[in-house]
A and B are shown apart, each in its own frame.
Chain A
Amino acid sequence: MTSPEQMYEIDAYADGELDAMRAIEVERLMAEKPELRQRYDSILNLRTALREAAAQDRASDLLQPRIERAVGRVGPSVTRWAALAASFLFGILIAGTLTWVLFVPRGPALGDMIVSAHMRGLLAEQPFDIASSDRHTVKPWLARKVPQSPDVVDLTQSGFPLFGGRVDVIDGNPVATLVYGHAQHLVSLMTFAKPVKLPTESTIAGFHIRSWLEGDLTYVAVSDIPERELAGFENDIRRPTR
């Protein structure tokens, strides 16, 4: 019977992780116990099989240009964000009062994660995992994926047609997100089961965020459409359930 420790030694030997003294010890051990020798041979065979299988895996030649484009698109908004932070800093110096400190953004907060998820949607081939303008298709799809599923409201009449839904991961938790269109822009509407620490209105890296409570759920809308239009979106989406 082989102990797990002996097995680890064989594995470490096959992985070139042992010093010379222990390697000699393992070689002696393998000469004594054929099942250990067999494990060693199996490890090498498996290695060959895995590397052969992986040899054909290559990302397409289009991936690098795609990434360079995506990074290029992120660039300006990051710079704008940095400029904004710099102007805050300038403000602190000028004002010289502690109250300003309250407005300084702190670390990668929830708002940043929400904007990142929205941006990820914008950069993907498709901003949604399920494409459907039919709320009776989107709702059950989301309900299967996440514990808290939002009311899916059709807002085509108000100029916000439903495009689909996706699941975002915010702070480690899956979150149901509805995707609406508006002119050439997209609005992501996320649903949180727990109350979230977000101001009712905020702007991060050029994206506006609005959040509100509805029953047990907190809704968060994020988009680069003008603030006023996003406020209109919130209004429209809340009206039918009132």
Chain B
Amino acid sequence: MESDRALFAKVFLPHLQQAYRLARWITGNAVDAEDIVQEASLRAFRSIRDCSGANPRGWVLTIVRNTANTWLTRNRADRVPVERIDADGSVIYREEDSDPDTPETILLRKAAVEEVRRAVDALPPAFREVIVLREIEDLDYREIAQIAGIPLGTVMSRLSRARSMLFKALGDTQ
């Protein structure tokens, strides 16, 4: 039987950069992202036997996502006004708070990197994580649903809404 540490090296370490990117974009904090990944690695190590092996990347990213959300509760409670974080770390968001947006006349201009970061950072966390998981981590809807712990339909609606918000923040309406 493989030792816990060998299993950890096989399951967690290959996804380190992806884990870092996820933490970095969910929190908007490049410095603390490394601490979050480290904390997530310890959580992962302690429950390494729970990893079924079917989808180690999804398992790792779920732990990182939950750790990053805990960080948000601690450090950015002031910035999550319309939602709260559940006991298990999942974000509860009331969908009716988001008014449907019309996508007309949206022309994305070439936004500077910093502008893109700021726009993503300004999204409510529940929307931020789906766009980050989709576009930056390149995961499909099913994986996003698993990691964020939400139904597929919610993935679609949040993703669509997150995009509309980003178009508005970054786009030229002229």
Contact = CB atoms under 8 A, between A and B. Distances in A.
Contacts of B156: 8, 11-12
Interface residues of A, number: 52
B88 interface: yes
Interface in A158-200: 167, 169, 171-172, 174
B91 to A, nearest CB: 12
A17 interface: yes
Contacts of B61: none
A74 B42 contact: yes
Interface string B1-43: 0001100110011001100110011000010011101110110
A58 B37 contact: no
Given A2-B102, A38-B106, A49 B34 contact: no
B150 interface: no
Contacts of B163: 11, 42-43, 46
Contacts of A39: 103, 106
Interface of A: 1-2, 4, 7-8, 11-12, 15-17, 35, 38-39, 42-43, 45-47, 49-54, 56-60, 63-64, 66-68, 70-72, 74-75, 78, 116, 119-120, 123-125, 145, 167, 169, 171-172, 174
Interface of B: 4-5, 8-9, 12-13, 16-17, 20-21, 24-25, 30, 33-35, 37-39, 41-42, 45-46, 70, 73-74, 77, 85-89, 100, 102-108, 110-111, 113, 116-117, 120, 131, 134-136, 140-141, 156-157, 159-160, 163-164, 166-167, 170-171
23 contacts: A2-B102, A2-B104, A4-B160, A7-B164, A8-B157, A11-B156, A12-B141, A17-B141, A42-B163, A42-B167, A46-B167, A49-B110, A49-B116, A49-B170, A50-B135, A50-B136, A53-B113, A56-B113, A59-B17, A66-B34, A78-B4, A116-B42, A125-B35
